[in-house]
Structure 1
Amino acid sequence: MPELRLPLDPGVRRDLDDLADAQGRTPEEVALDAVRAHLRQEGTRVRGVAGEPAREHADLLRRLGE
């Protein structure tokens, strides 16, 4: 799997390490889960926004397709 390097300021790194320790996980596992959750959330939001014009103009799009 390709690696991604993220520069973290000391406070963020300390928080990440503390959370990982509290959960009995590695900082990498916590960070990867956070990235995946963010991508799911943003993907859902973007798909919703992208679909708005199609819903708004569904009748016009249908007529253009005829």
Structure 2
Amino acid sequence: MRDTTVDLALPLAPATRRALDDLADASGRGAEELAREAVRRYLEQEGAPVRAQAERLARRHADLLRRLGE
């Protein structure tokens, strides 16, 4: 499967946009690159506890899930 990108319009408050532009300029990266990285990191951080909880629930209810799958 090929990885593709999809454009996303992300309205930012003027102060947030200025801060993003300043950080991008200071780091020698593009603002879009920084925003993509921030979203990726956020999803990893927020997704980890959700995945862990799902795994705990799956283990706790493994017998029921197995019976439902029969």
Which TM-score band applies after superposition, normalised by the shorter structure? 0.7 to 0.9
User: Judging changes above 3 Å, is the alpha-carbon distance between structure 1 residues 50 and 9 closer, same or farther for their aligned structure 2 residues?
Assistant: same
Identity score, percent: 53
Match of 2:12? Answer: 8
Which residue of 26, 38, 42 maps to 2:30?
Answer: 26
Amino acid aligned to 1:32: R
The Cα shift of 1:32 comes to 0.4
Instruction: Give the match for residue 40 of structure 1.
Output: 44
Deviations 1:8-65 (A, max 9, x none): 000110110111111101100000000111111122121011122233445xx28x65
Rounded to whole Å, the distance in 2 between the matches of 1:31 and 1:42 is 16
Q: 1 or 2, which has the higher helix percentage?
A: 1
Cα RMSD, aligned residues only: 1.8
| TM-score normalised by length of structure 1 | 0.77
Count of aligned pairs: 62
TM-score of the superposition, structure 2-length normalised?
A: 0.73
